[in-house]
Structure 1
Amino acid sequence: MWAQVINAILGIWLMAASSVLGYTNDKTIADNEHIVGPVVAAFAIISWWEATRTVRLYNAPLGLWLLLAPWILGYENSLATGNSMLVGALILGLSFVKGKIEESYGGGWSSLWKSDTLHEQEARRTPRTDIEK
């Protein structure tokens, strides 16, 4: 979870970076960061819970976009280019940190064709006292 907390902070940083670093006059850079930042933060926050942990992977393409954006959008500010590259690399790398999994939920679609599913194992362990004889 620590990696996703950092990704959320990086998303918030992207929203403020153009004002803090002083390149608000370049609307292309500022708009890009104002769009990508909240999306990164939202995906990171959603992935804090175990059941939605895989949402962290949605930040990988956004991190890759931040790495490529200076060349695709033609950034002329070297400070903005460095910020985009650094934040993009961090978001991309931290997106692949899984985190600790404490419980298993459901089993997904594969549980439909497995012969010994989690709920069958639980049913064998728990004695049934509610069945009339």
Structure 2
Amino acid sequence: MENWTNAKWCDVANLVLGAFLFASPWMFGFDAGAASRNAYVAGIAIAILAIAALAAFAVWEEWLNLIVGLWTLIAPWVLGFQGNRTAMTIHVVVGIAVAALAAIELWMMSQNPPRLTASG
């Protein structure tokens, strides 16, 4: 664990948030509509991006996580499930957290870009 940077901790947090979002329809009893479908799809996307970033960091993964986080944040209004207060709250909170973590990682990378090494 000596090579664990703050960026990797952000990716672990995103992995947990993605798993939580994916499991939330079962944990909180969402109906089988748009809220559940979006939780499954966005949760899987967030988790896969987090795993990819943990395996081999690339800036594009953080940009995609930012986009998925923002989508998760606005999904209750776009998909029309803002009447389901529990699903809406979970989507908004997870969306804000994922987008914020992605923005923090992007900011950290702009402050301290990874060093390129010559192989050979």
**What SS class does the counterpart of residue 103 from structure 2 fall into?**
coil
Gaps of 5+ in 1: 107-118, 123-133
What fraction of aligned residue pairs are identical, expressed as a percent?
Answer: 27
Match of 2:104 among 97, 106, 114: 97
Q: How many aligned positions are there?
A: 107
- Structure 1 or 2: larger helix share? 2
- Closer/same/farther in 2, CA of residues 103 and 71 from structure 1, 3 Å limit: closer
Match of 1:16 among 13, 23, 31: 23
**What is the rounded CA distance, in whole Å, between the counterparts of 2:43 and 2:80 in structure 1?**
19
Match of 1:53 among 55, 58, 79: 58
Aligned-pair CA distance for 1:105: 3.1
**What is the rounded CA distance, in whole Å, between the counterparts of 1:90 and 1:83 in structure 2?**
11
- The reply on whether 1:70 has 2:76 as its aligned counterpart is yes
Match of 1:38 among 26, 37, 44: 44
**What SS class does the counterpart of residue 105 from structure 1 fall into?**
coil
- 1:38-66 C-alpha deviation (Å, 9 max, x unpaired): 111111111125x5231122100111111
**What is the rounded CA distance, in whole Å, between the counterparts of 1:83 and 1:95 in structure 2?**
18
Query: What is the RMSD computed on CA atoms of the aligned residues?
Result: 2.5
Higher Cα radius of gyration: 1
Gaps of 5+ in 2: 1-7
Q: 2:95 — aligned with what?
A: 88
